Amino acid sequence: MSLRQALEAKRFAITAEIGPFKGTDTSEIAELAELFHGKVDAVNVTDQQSSVMRLGSLAACHLLREKGLDPVLQVTCRDRNRLALQSDLLSAAALGIENVLALTGDYPSLGDHPQAKPVYDLDSVQLLWLISRLNQGYDMAGNELRGKPSFFPGAVVNPGADTAAAMELQLVKMEKKVAMGAKFFQTQAVYDLKAFEKFIKRVSWLGVPILAGIIPIKSAKMARYMNENVSGVNVPEALIERMEKATDKAREGVQIAAELIRELKGMCQGVHIMAIGWEKKVPAVLEASGLAA
């Protein structure tokens, strides 16, 4: 079952995420494809995540599709103007890739090529409009396409914005993204369940599926780093203490992720697992959460 089919059927959806390596070695993509097969509804492929140059999302998505998985093409506006964005999207459609996650993208100064010039010809809201336009059979200039795609576009939202003003901005942008055609949302990592439940109640009127982000905690140090440096992420002190006391950090991190998933299952339409180096532990997380096939 594809991601689109799972969400349209209102089934609790599971997506995972991989980040291609810097180079042409695709052996891990093949290995993870085999590992994820039958366990997740779709697999996101990051697009130069954190502005670090890597193998492209489009190529990796094509490889995943050849292995029988439903890929989610992440597309950032940072590196392409509207010509390149449209061309890459049409290329994806020609390869049978339908899921697209629209992102504005981190600034290049944060990555490994800080001298790179940012493009940002469009932002993520405009990119969603562009995707809808392509689905209608026209390019951004109004020219008719010879064959049109059938994209299933998604977007991101941060449900843990730490100020009232920041939360209002997230809600306004989310509403705009829905208006421009977003069919699903994947969120920043969720650890504070009460705050997430409050967020869900505020946006339920939009009627768009939301997949809560899950990042397994590897250590107390990682949790504190996210609290200090990742906007909108709040790992409760109780979870940090559990990681400090655990003798088997990996097992405890998997267990915490599984517990979060079990709690979130009644709040949203799915989860998006961003394992960040722990991709091979995704099946264990799903088994511990009761979601394993």
Q: How confident is the model at residue 163 (pLDDT cuts 50, 70, 90)?
A: confident
3-217+268-280 is classed CATH 3.40.50.10490: no
* pLDDT higher than 70, residue 114: yes
Task: Read off the pLDDT of residues 202-257 as tens digits, 9 standing for 90 and up.
Answer: 999 999 999 999 999 999 999 999 999 988 899 999 999 999 999 999 999 999 99
Q: How confident is the model at residue 168 (pLDDT cuts 50, 70, 90)?
A: very high
What's the mean pLDDT in 186-201?
96
Q: How confident is the model at residue 101 (pLDDT cuts 50, 70, 90)?
A: very high
What's the mean pLDDT in 253-270?
97
Specify the long-range contacts of residues 129-138, CB closer than 8 Å, at least 24 apart: 129/180, 129/181, 130/82, 130/85, 130/86, 130/89, 131/89, 131/100, 131/102, 131/181, 132/180, 132/181, 134/86, 134/89, 134/90, 134/93, 135/181
Q: State the pLDDT at residue 1.
A: 80
Q: State the pLDDT at residue 159.
A: 94
Q: Which of 44, 8, 99 is nearest to 282 (CA)?
A: 44
Count other C-beta atoms under 10 Å from residue 12's C-beta: 18
- Any idea where the domains of the chain sit in the sequence? 3-217+268-280
Q: What are phi and psi of 154, to 5 degrees?
A: -130, 175
Mean pLDDT across the chain: 96
What's the mean pLDDT in 288-293?
84
Q: State the pLDDT at residue 293.
A: 59
Give the DSSP letter of residue 280: G
Q: State the pLDDT at residue 269.
A: 97
Task: Read off the pLDDT of residues 48-78 as tens digits, 9 standing for 90 and up.
Answer: 999 999 999 999 999 999 999 999 999 999 9
Q: State the pLDDT at residue 162.
A: 79
